[in-house]
Structure formats: C-alpha cells, structure tokens
C-alpha cells in the first residue's frame, strides 16, 4: 500500500474508527507503544541516562565479563533517539559520548585493532555530519576537537582522518 492509498483510506474512516485503529496499533506493536509513551511523557534525561549506561557497559562491564566494545549497541541507541525525535542536542551528546567512552577504553587497553579505530572514526564522522546538519556546532565544537586530539595522542592508525576534520573546524574560526 502506498502512502497516498493509506491517506485516502484514513480519510474515509470516521473519528471512532480511526481512534480504534490507533489503539489497536498501540496494543499490538511495541514500537508504536514506545513512540506514544515518549510523545506524551518524554523523560529525555532518563532515556539519556539509560542509553549512556548501556553504552558504557559495553566497554566497562560491572561484572567480571570481558568487555565486548560493540559499536552496534551505541548505534542502536542513537537510531532509537533519532526515531523518537529526541532533542538534537541530546542525540549529539550521546553520539559524542559513545566515541569518548571508546577512547577511554582504548587508552586503558592499549593495543588497538584497526577495525576498532575505523568503526570509531565512522561514528565520529556520523556525529559531525549530524551536528552540522542540525546547526549545533557551537555547542559541540570543543568536544569534537578534543576527540580528534585524543585519537592523535593515542596514535590511532587513522588519526590523520580525525585531524583532517579537526583542521576544517580550525579554518572555520
């Protein structure tokens, strides 16, 4: 069914039928419930706290298990924030937090795999693009520069790529 067909179908329904369908969707599908729960009671700070905790556990688990350091966990949380329409400042903060915690982990661990550095650069690049798109660079510029400097100080194999983005911001001053 196309979007146009859906709109036509919805216009044919009366108010009670439309309400019944939305309630049915709410009860049947968890993503719909999560969306409406967020819309009517955002609690963004709690959502942010839980997301940061989940990401930090990937690198610094509370139990004795080995850290997994999976980028996918953070990406899932970031995507969830974007789908819900969370404030762009909070989404950007989470994106940069992910890289910062990974760099803290990398500093403690030492010998890094190139794939780890590559995936963190991809996260960095996505964060910078998001921040620029949302027009909130002024708030996050220092953190972006600090991340690039940290990649350099830890001698990441792709530190020059971080530095390249850093130089673009220096020129923008």
Full 3-state SS string of the chain: CCHHHHHHHHHHCCHHHHHHHHHHHHHHCHHHHHHHHHHHCCCHHHHHHHHHHHHHHHHCCCCCCCCCCCHHHHHHHHHHHHHHCCCHHHHHHHHHHHHHHHHHHHHHHCCCCHHHHHHHHHHHHHHHHHHHHHCCHHHHHHHHHHHHHHHHHCCCCCHHHHHHHHHHHHHHC
pTM of the model: 0.84
Longest dimension (CA), the chain: 64
Output the tens digit of pLDDT for each of the chain's 173 residues. Answer: 899 999 999 899 999 999 999 999 999 999 899 888 888 888 899 999 999 999 999 999 988 888 888 899 999 999 999 999 999 999 999 999 999 999 999 998 877 788 999 999 999 999 999 999 999 999 999 999 999 999 999 999 999 999 888 777 666 54
């Amino acid at each position: 069914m196309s979007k146009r067909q859906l709109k036509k179908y919805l216009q044919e329904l009366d108010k009670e039928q439309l309400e019944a369908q939305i309630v049915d969707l709410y009860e049947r599908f968890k993503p719909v419930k999560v969306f409406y729960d967020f819309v009517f009671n955002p609690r963004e700070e709690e959502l942010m706290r839980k997301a940061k905790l989940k990401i930090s556990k990937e690198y610094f688990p509370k139990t004795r298990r080995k850290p997994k350091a999976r980028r996918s966990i953070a990406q899932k949380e970031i995507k969830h924030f974007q789908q819900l329409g969370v404030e762009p400042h909070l989404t950007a903060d989470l994106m940069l937090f992910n890289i910062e915690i990974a760099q803290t982990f990398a500093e403690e661990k030492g010998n890094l795999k190139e794939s780890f550095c590559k995936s963190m650069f991809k996260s960095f690049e996505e964060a910078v693009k998001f921040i620029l798109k949302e027009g909130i660079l002024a708030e996050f510029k220092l953190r972006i520069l600090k991340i690039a400097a940290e990649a350099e100080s830890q001698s990441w194999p792709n530190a020059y790529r971080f530095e390249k983005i850093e130089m673009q911001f220096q020129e923008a001053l």
